[in-house]
């Protein structure tokens, strides 16, 4: 009997698999990224995946902020909780692949009146009952170990449902990693916004001081009758413009700080290390080859796991068209005396099975199969779209990296030219060759060009962060994300 049970169990665990063979969907991928590699992408530049975020972000203050965000961000905590939920659901489903053993014991004591016994035994009212007891009292004891409704998975229904739940779990892990990268990128981009705002504020304050001095001189010249009210009003207009620009920069910088506080889980109480200037933060990385994205991007891996889960669900839906066989069995003891319950003479057993044969269900199973296939078709398109999005993000990042480098170089030359022009205008005014309005115009142009240069540097850094995460960089220190074992 034991040998027979073992053979049945082995057959149940090694039944057919009705799921279609999985094949990764084809996506048109160029062998190399378009466009010439910039000079900073020499052969010595590491791949994004070879640099942890602590190596890529060299700013000590930014490192501290990212570390705090990874530890305290509430949205990331939700993503990790969803991993635990998916893992628990997988374990619940996986338990159906093995028989569930249960043990029970029972004890009862029963008294039956003689009137009932007499009626059931055919005693008549004329029978002399003077020597009969009032009733009979007896005990019943039992102990059993058994299996209840274990499905023989001959067609792979339970196995495919388990596989689908496992892939859902794996998808949740990749989803948490994708969100983790997104969080790192958002913290870095917001931090660079703040650093750029601080540098722009310093420029704006210096410009405001110069324009206040210009307004004071213009007032003196107006009072002395040397200049007209039109010239004075021009200086006042430049002053109010500088004050308005300063207020606008303060507003955007403070709002960026509010966003950063949310990303890192609240205001950081402990002192932070000093930060680096924007111009010293760029780290060169090599984009590698396009095919590496399929293995490095968590969102692409998440989409593939979701597709694999849908593929397994098709197998479960197909298996529903075939008979289901469930086994039950128990082994135990039954006795009217507790002391002799486990004697060999009181041994009892039972086993059996049920067969469920689907005949007609008004198209329910056919509809479920079509639903599973349509969901798989949707996820094929979703996977292909995620791959295309990944390539577009990398391509956009590479294009932006080249063009921002060109813009910054051009804007740097523009700032130098404007600075020379402002010095010349000041010399011309000091020698009485030009009016003061020429000085103010030159300084206004210098201020605007300098602000643009700071903004371009911040944008270049933000693009570098986007490219780094688009290439799958930043998955360092992922111990908080529970990665499943191959057979877990």
- At 231-282, the pLDDT tens digits run 788 888 888 988 999 999 999 999 999 999 999 998 887 788 988 888 878 8
- Digit-coded pLDDT (tens) for 352-371: 888 888 888 888 889 999 99
Q: Where are the domains of the chain?
A: 12-101+154-321+364-470
User: Does 477 or 12 have the greater pLDDT score?
Assistant: 477
What does the block give as tokens for 150? Answer: 């274990």
The pLDDT-based confidence of 332 (bands split at 50, 70, 90) is confident
> Tell me, what DSSP letter sits at residue 272?
P
pLDDT above 70: percentage of residues in the chain: 87
pTM recorded for the entire structure: 0.80
Closest by CA position to 213, among listed 423, 417, 443: 443
pLDDT of 14 above 60: no
Buried b (16+ CB within 10 A) or exposed e, 23-43: eeeebeeeeebeeebeeebee
Quick one: 89 exposed, middle or buried, by C-beta within 10 A (0-12, 13-18, 19+)? middle
Q: Summarize the confidence of residues 53-75 as an average pLDDT.
A: 92
447 phi and psi angles, rounded to 5 deg: -60, -45
Cα–Cα distance between 486 and 488 in angstroms, integer? 6
Residue 336 is predicted with a pLDDT of 73
Mean pLDDT, the chain, rounded, equals 84
Q: What would the two tokens of residue 185 be?
A: 């990128």
Q: Which residues pair with 140 in a beta bridge?
A: 108
Instruction: Give the residue carrying structure tokens 């020379």.
Output: 420
3-class DSSP assignment, residue 27: coil
Per the rule left: phi > 0, alpha: psi between -120 and 50, beta: everything else, 16 is beta
What digits encode the pLDDT tens for the residues 360-414?
A: 888 888 999 999 999 999 999 999 999 989 999 999 999 999 999 999 999 999 9
Per-residue pLDDT reduced to its tens digit, 119-153? 655 555 555 555 556 667 777 878 888 888 788 88
Contact 454, 200 (CB under 8 A): yes
pLDDT above 80 for 481: no
478: which 2 tokens?
Answer: 């992922």
- Predicted confidence at residue 118, as pLDDT, reads 62
12-101+154-321+364-470 under CATH 1.20.1600.10, yes or no: yes
Which DSSP state fits 38?
A: P
Judged by phi (left if over 0) then psi (alpha if -120 to 50, else beta), residue 66 lies in alpha
Of the candidates 377, 7, 387, 324, the one whose C-alpha atom is nearest the C-alpha of residue 161 is: 324
Single out the residue of 311, 317, 314 nearest to residue 380, CA to CA: 311
* CA quadruple 370, 372, 378, 381: dihedral, nearest 10: -110
Indicate whether 341 pLDDT > 80: no
Whole-angstrom distance, CA of residue 398 vs CA of residue 467: 7
pLDDT at 424: 93
The two tokens of residue 368 are 């479920």
Whether 65 shows a pLDDT value over 70: the answer reads yes
Question: What are residue 224's phi and psi, to 5 degrees?
Answer: -85, -5
Contact 281, 59 (CB under 8 A): yes
Most confident of 15-29, 32-46, 172-186, 204-218: 172-186
Give the Cβ contact number of residue 8 at 10 Å.
15
């Amino acid at each position: 009997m034991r040998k027979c049970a073992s053979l049945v169990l082995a057959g149940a665990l090694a039944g057919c698999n009705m799921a279609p063979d999985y094949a990764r969907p084809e996506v048109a991928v160029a062998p190399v990224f378009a466009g010439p590699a910039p000079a900073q992408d020499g052969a010595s530049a590491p791949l994004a995946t070879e640099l942890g975020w602590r190596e890529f972000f060299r700013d000590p203050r930014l490192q501290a902020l990212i570390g705090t965000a990874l530890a305290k961000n509430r949205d990331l905590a939700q993503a990790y909780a969803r991993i635990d939920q998916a893992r628990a659901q997988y374990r619940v489903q996986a338990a159906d692949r093995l028989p569930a053993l249960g043990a029970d014991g029972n004890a009862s004591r029963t008294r039956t009146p003689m009137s009932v016994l007499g009626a059931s035994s055919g005693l008549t009212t004329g029978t002399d009952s003077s020597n009969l007891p009032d009733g009979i009292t007896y005990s019943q004891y039992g102990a059993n170990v058994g299996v209840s409704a274990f499905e023989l998975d001959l067609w792979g229904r339970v196995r495919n449902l388990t596989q689908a739940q496992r892939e859902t779990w794996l998808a949740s892990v990749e989803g948490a990693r994708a969100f983790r990268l997104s969080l790192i990128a958002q913290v870095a981009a917001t931090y660079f916004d703040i650093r750029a705002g601080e540098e722009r504020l310093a420029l704006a304050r210096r410009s405001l001081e110069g324009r206040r001095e210009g307004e004071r001189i213009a007032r003196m010249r107006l009072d002395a009758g040397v200049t007209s009210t039109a010239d004075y009003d021009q200086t006042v207009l430049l002053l109010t413009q500088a004050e308005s620009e300063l207020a606008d920069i303060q507003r955007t910088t403070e709002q960026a700080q509010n966003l950063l506080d949310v990303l890192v889980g609240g205001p950081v109480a402990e002192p932070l290390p000093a930060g680096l200037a924007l111009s010293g933060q760029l780290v060169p990385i090599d984009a590698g080859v396009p095919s590496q994205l399929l293995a490095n991007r968590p969102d692409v891996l998440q989409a593939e796991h979701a597709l694999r889960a849908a593929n397994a669900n098709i197998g479960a839906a197909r298996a529903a068209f075939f008979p289901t066989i469930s086994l039950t069995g128990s082994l135990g003891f039954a006795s009217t005396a507790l002391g002799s319950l486990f004697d060999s003479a009181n041994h009892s057993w039972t086993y059996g099975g049920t067969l469920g044969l689907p005949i007609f269900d008004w198209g329910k199973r056919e509809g479920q199969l079509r639903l599973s296939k349509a969901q798989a078709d949707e996820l094929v398109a979703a996977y292909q779209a995620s791959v295309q999005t990944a390539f577009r993000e990398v391509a956009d990042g590479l294009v932006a990296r080249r063009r921002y480098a060109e813009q910054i170089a051009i804007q740097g030359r523009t700032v130098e030219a404007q600075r020379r022009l402002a010095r010349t205008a000041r010399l011309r005014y000091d020698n009485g060759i030009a009016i003061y309005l020429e000085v103010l115009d030159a300084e206004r142009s210098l201020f605007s060009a300098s602000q643009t240069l700071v903004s371009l540097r911040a944008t270049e850094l933000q693009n570098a962060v986007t490219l780094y995460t688009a290439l799958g960089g930043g998955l360092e220190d992922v111990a908080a994300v529970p990665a499943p074992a191959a057979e877990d």
